[in-house]
Amino acid sequence: MNFHVLTLFPEMIESVAGTSILGRAEKKGLISVTPVNIRDYTDDPHGKVDDYPYGGGPGMVMKAQPVYDCYTDVRKHCGENTACVFLTAQGKTFDQKMAKEYAVFEDIILLCGHYEGIDERVIEEIGPDEVSLGDFVLTGGELPALCFIDCVSRLVPGVLHNDDSAGEESFEGNLLEYPQYSRPEVWMGHAVPDIILSGDHGAVDRYRLEEAEKRTAERRPDLYEKYLAEKPPEKKKRKRKHKSTDALNAPGIPADSGQDS
């Protein structure tokens, strides 16, 4: 999977993308993260990429021309299986379900705004998906882009050391993740629950599910409602019917088939 980050500050992307899990995934060739400097595409003789907003108002607005030229140059090197995402506070809130939807693309172009935003005309021309991290405002789209890359990359096979890890984390199945413990068994008077140390994998799985349900209900009741709504109903075990003594002694049914001699 290839991430192309259109930005005014490529060093922000480079400083994070080359470390930890993302850095190892790049070295393995599983993903690539390429920051592309929008400033390189301006036709302004002074290298400007922004200007004052029409109609007045505070701050500066990123100009349409360098953003569009940067996008079209990157897009022509991508295949058909490509998504374009504009990181903006006005977009649809990003979540784990959305991350799974983007994990199927070969190329993702991430457009990072800055200052007071980007000229609306280039957004209309490009037509990107508009995505937000939440109801708050950041200085630019670089940090949201990095969060997006980190989240989606974890779903690429081979990126995580254990591919099962992604399926057991928070928000999978609309549940928060269960509590985790490591050595030592007792720390500052707090002991690891006995059931976790029991070696009974079935019991451990049941305990973890119960804890995930409890934690979600307490901390994210909105998510817990979704979980209950989508949770498949448990199959009821059929009870075997046994003939009662009364039935055996009913009229016309001898209790003892033997004959007196």
Per-residue model confidence (pLDDT) at position 249: 52
Mean pLDDT rounded to a whole number for the chain:
89
Per-residue model confidence (pLDDT) at position 27: 96
Q: Is the pLDDT of residue 255 over 90?
A: no
Per-residue model confidence (pLDDT) at position 232: 73
Q: Is the pLDDT of residue 239 over 60?
A: no
Query: What average pLDDT does the segment 141-145 reach?
Result: 98
Per-residue model confidence (pLDDT) at position 260: 44
Per-residue model confidence (pLDDT) at position 257: 45
pTM here?
0.81
Query: What average pLDDT does the segment 229-242 reach?
Result: 67
pLDDT greater at residue 257 or residue 53: 53
pLDDT greater at residue 238 or residue 116: 116
For the ranges 4-8, 44-48, 242-246, the lowest mean pLDDT is seen at 242-246
Per-residue model confidence (pLDDT) at position 231: 84
Per residue in 12-21, pLDDT (tens digit) is: 999 999 999 9
Query: What average pLDDT does the segment 119-146 reach?
Result: 97
pLDDT > 90: what percent of the chain?
81
Query: What average pLDDT does the segment 215-232 reach?
Result: 92
* Residue showing tokens 């199959």: 235
For the ranges 57-61, 151-155, 229-233, the lowest mean pLDDT is seen at 229-233
pLDDT greater at residue 74 or residue 168: 74
Q: Is the pLDDT of residue 166 over 80?
A: no
Q: How confident is the model at residue 173 (pLDDT cuts 50, 70, 90)?
A: confident
Chain region(s) in the chain for CATH 3.40.1280.10? 2-153
At the top level of CATH, the class of 2-153 is: alpha beta
Highest mean pLDDT pick, 67-76, 215-224, 246-255: 67-76
For the ranges 37-41, 88-92, 160-164, 242-246, the lowest mean pLDDT is seen at 242-246
